[in-house]
Homo-oligomer: A and B are copies of this chain.
Amino acid sequence: MKNNTNVDNQEVKNEKTFVFDEKSCPVTATMQVLGGKWKAILINAIYLTSPARFGELKRSVKGITQSMLTQQLRELEDDGLISRKIYAEIPPRVEYTLTELGLTLSPIMQSMAKWGEEYRMKKQ
Q: Residues on A close to B: CB < 8 A?
A: 15-16, 18-21, 25-31, 33, 35-37, 40-41, 44-45, 48-49, 56, 60-63, 101, 104-105, 107-109, 111-120, 122
Main secondary structure of the interface of A (DSSP, over half): helix
Residue of B nearest to A109 (CB): B27
> In the complex where A35-B35, A60-B19, A120-B29 touch, is A104 in contact with B115 (Cβ < 8 A)?
yes
- How far does the Cβ of A82 sit from chain B's closest Cβ, in whole Å? 15
Bound CA span A21–B111, Å: 18
Beyond A18-B60, A20-B45, whether A35 also contacts B37 by CB under 8 A is: yes
A41 touches B25 (CB 8 A): yes
Tell which of A27, A28, A108 has the most Cβ of chain B within 10 Å. A27
Residue contact B111 to A111, C-beta cutoff 8 Å:
yes
Could you say which of A20, A25, A26, A116 has the most chain B C-beta atoms within 10 Å of its C-beta? Answer: A20
Q: A20-B44, A29-B119 are in contact. List 4 more A-B contacts (CB 8 A).
A: A20-B60, A26-B112, A107-B114, A107-B115
Whether A105 contacts B116 by the Cβ 8 Å rule is: no
| CA distance in complex: A86, B122 (Å) | 27
